[in-house]
Amino acid sequence: MSKRKYTTQFWKDSSRIYEQILELPFNRELMKGTLDRDKFVYYMKQDALYLADFGRALAVAGTRSGDTESMKQLIGFAEGAVVVERALHEHYLSEFNAELDIPKSPTCEAYTGFLIRATVLEPYPVALAALLPCFWVYREVGHHIHKNATRPNVYQQWIDTYAGEEFGESVEQAIDLTEQAARDATEAVRQQMLEAYLESTRLEWMFWDAAWRMEDWPV
């Protein structure tokens, strides 16, 4: 696809949030391999709960795409996310002798609820914009940590997954889908897309921060 005018602007407008994500204690400690295992296990459990709804949201967006190729790509993303990330979760939960035994945290509930609402209720281009940060931010964080990680690192498999070529290809496809949707949208819908993209990026920040705090419901 030719120059990505709109998605590039989305990234620029969210760059301050992304830089803050890199500085979160969770990601800095993961990069050094010194992250407390209980915090990482908590994160993996919440990520597994998040993933289930993320896959549903991708599938719903696929049914609304309006063309067969986009539908196939989005449903493929959902399938790939479930297979690849579930394997990652199972690896670490097994290694750390942990089970998926907690409910969604308040932050996980907020994030997945936002994505489901966006894919069901908002225009299709807005749904794509809401889903994109989970791809794009994770790839960039993965590359940053891979480049700067202490080795050996107990979290190397996590790092390699999100810095890997297979995940990167999915990210490129997701960006291109969103760019095309933005090109075909009205200016008003493009503004909604930006707002949805920023909201999801903020929720990405919150998700990692919640993992560091091992967030729980107050009662």
pLDDT for 96 equals 84
Helices (runs of H) and strands (runs of E) counted in the chain: 9, 0
3-state secondary structure of 33: coil
pLDDT digit string, tens, across residues 198-210: 999 999 999 999 9
Give the span between the Cα atoms of 96 and 201, in whole angstroms: 29
Give the span between the Cα atoms of 22 and 160, in whole angstroms: 17
Total-model pTM: 0.93
pLDDT at 90 over 90: no
Residue 204 known to be catalytic: yes
Tokens standing for residue 192 = 């909604």
105 CB-contact burial (10 Å; exposed 0-12 / middle 13-18 / buried 19+): buried
Tokens standing for residue 101 = 């035994």
Average pLDDT across the chain, whole number: 92
Average pLDDT over residues 55-78: 88
Q: Where are the alpha helices (DSSP H) in 33-103?
A: 37-63, 68-95
Give the span between the Cα atoms of 211 and 138, in whole angstroms: 15
Residue 179 known to be catalytic: no
pLDDT digit string, tens, across residues 147-198: 999 999 999 999 998 898 888 888 999 999 999 999 999 999 999 999 999 9
Instruction: For the domain made up of 5-210, give the CATH fold.
Output: Heme Oxygenase; Chain A (1.20.910)
DSSP 8-class letter at 24? S
Angle at 22 between CA 20 and CA 26, to 5 degrees: 105
Neighbours of 216 (CB within 10 A): 12
Chain-centroid distance of CA 138 in Å reads: 6
pLDDT for 1 equals 44
Instruction: Tell me the residue length of the chain.
Output: 219
pLDDT for 88 equals 74
Q: Which of 85, 122, 134, 179 is catalytic?
A: 134
Q: Which of 85, 140, 179, 204 is catalytic?
A: 204
Give the span between the Cα atoms of 165 and 177, in whole angstroms: 19
Give the span between the Cα atoms of 26 and 84, in whole angstroms: 22
Give the span between the Cα atoms of 206 and 108, in whole angstroms: 9
- Angle of helix 165-184 relative to helix 156-163, nearest 10 degrees, comes to 40
pLDDT at 2 over 80: no
Half-sphere exposure of 29 (CA within 13 A, CB side): 14
